[in-house]
Amino acid sequence: MNILEAAILGLVEGLTEFLPVSSTAHLLVVQRLMGQGGDEAGNAFAIVIQAGAILAVLGLYRERVRRGLAGVLGRDPEGRAFARDLLVAFAPAVVIGGLFNNAIERVLFGLWPIAVAWILGGAVILGTQRWLNRREGLELPELGWRRALVIGLVQCLAMWPGTSRSFATILGGRLVGLTLAAAVEFSFLLGVMTLGAATALKLVKNGGVLLEAYGPLNLAVGLLVAWLSAVVSVKWMVRWLETRSLAIFGWWRILAGLGVVGLLVLGG
């Protein structure tokens, strides 16, 4: 890998991580097109550069994060409730991911499963967009741990690459009655916990292999570009959804899935 390739992967990660289009699927496809990925180092690089996107959300939602931390310390009741809801929503991914992660990577981390998930998810967005984009509903302080648990269970669907963690959690938020804006914000902040845990685990397990294969400079470039592009992507998505629908992401997913199918068919 050279610096340009590291920057491209960082750009793909940052732009797609918090959009409902599946960053994992995009990274796997781009890695394959560049002749990379499929090994421990490649998979670790794709996950570890998520840290750049995590930093972007921490910065953009620093007040909500500050209140959550204050709540954990007993200084903010609303912040404590929000921190509890995040932990409850995070728990199912820990349990199910811990039990089935190796099987999921073995069975679903291929281009055909990704294409299917992209197309199905796009069809769901387009078929439910009127409901998904309704503006009324509950705000985050009204969430509660039971509704948060439902969101966490729905998030586990995103262990299938192409499904999209962001899409699953936004869908889960709307299912339990959150407004679209609240569902998006909760999705972003739950992503910080979920992606942070996955990044830390990969660093512990494969950090040495990753640095040996790609070097610290390529990793730093990937992280930096992921951070900058995620800032742009998250701000754009929030502004877009203030006046428009999720339909653009449904079409994006379907076109991406059909594109992968075309490449697979033409490639034999």
Tokens for 183, please give them: 């569902």
Residue 157 DSSP class: G
Range of the domain at 256: 3-266
The pLDDT assigned to 131 comes to 86
The pLDDT assigned to 207 comes to 79
The pLDDT assigned to 14 comes to 94
> What residues does 178 pair with on adjacent strands?
138
Residue ranges for the chain with pLDDT beneath 70? 37-38, 107, 268
CA distance 220 to 155: 29
The pLDDT assigned to 29 comes to 87
Tokens for 45, please give them: 């690089």
Tokens for 119, please give them: 């197309």
State the total domains in the chain: 1
Indicate left, alpha or beta for 254 from its phi (over 0: left) and psi (-120 to 50: alpha): alpha
CA distance 268 to 259: 14
